[in-house]
Amino acid sequence: MLVRNIKEFKKLTYQKKIICFDYGKKKIGVAISDENNKIKMLICIIFKNREYKEKIKEIINSYNIGGILMGLPINEYVGSNKMSQSIKDTTKDIDLYIKNNNLDIPIIFWDESFTSVEAETKTKNLFNNTKKQKASLDKYAAQIILDDFLKILSYE
């Protein structure tokens, strides 16, 4: 179920883990929080293929997820763009898919602008190989999005 405000999302996800998805053109970065929304963990990268929704469902079930945070790029001058629309459409598909699998999990969008750049800076010294760094950027971006959201959530 798509949720439009933080207070409602917070009420629905109290003492539950939150999963964050950073959607790219080919990959989805995944990070989760603990039940207290204090610890953020990198989980994996999901490749966008025919089975990606099943993989999302498996992660939701295995980590006992209570809420979904979707990174959404927002251009401050133009507003929505092609990638934003693609993410919104994909989110509706995922919402329908998880409902059809007897899961009712609140989903909220969060601005992910510039998180890939921040992830690139953050990981620059972690990897001695730029190929490995680029391969893991999406999950680091997901962690940054989740961290940003949880900081705001803690003040609500």
**Every domain of the chain and the residues it spans:** 6-155
Q: What is the mean pLDDT of each run of 10 residues along the chain (156 residues)?
A: 87 91 89 88 88 92 93 68 84 92 92 77 71 75 88 75
pLDDT value at position 21? 93
What is the pLDDT at residue 129? 66
- Residues 6 or more apart in contact with residue 137 via CB below 8 angstroms: 29, 116, 119, 120, 123
pLDDT score, position 113? 77
pLDDT score recorded for residue 74: 78
pLDDT for the residue numbered 55? 93
Taking only the tens place, the pLDDT of each residue in 13-30 is 888 999 999 988 889 999
Instruction: Give the pLDDT score at 43.
Output: 84
Q: Specify the pLDDT at position 33.
A: 93
Taking only Cα atoms into account, the Rg of the chain, rounded to an integer number of angstroms, comes to 15
CA geometry: angle at 47 spanning 46 and 51, to 5°?
90
Distance CA 43, CA 122 (A): 17
CATH code 3.20.20.60 for 6-155: no
What is this structure's pTM?
A: 0.85
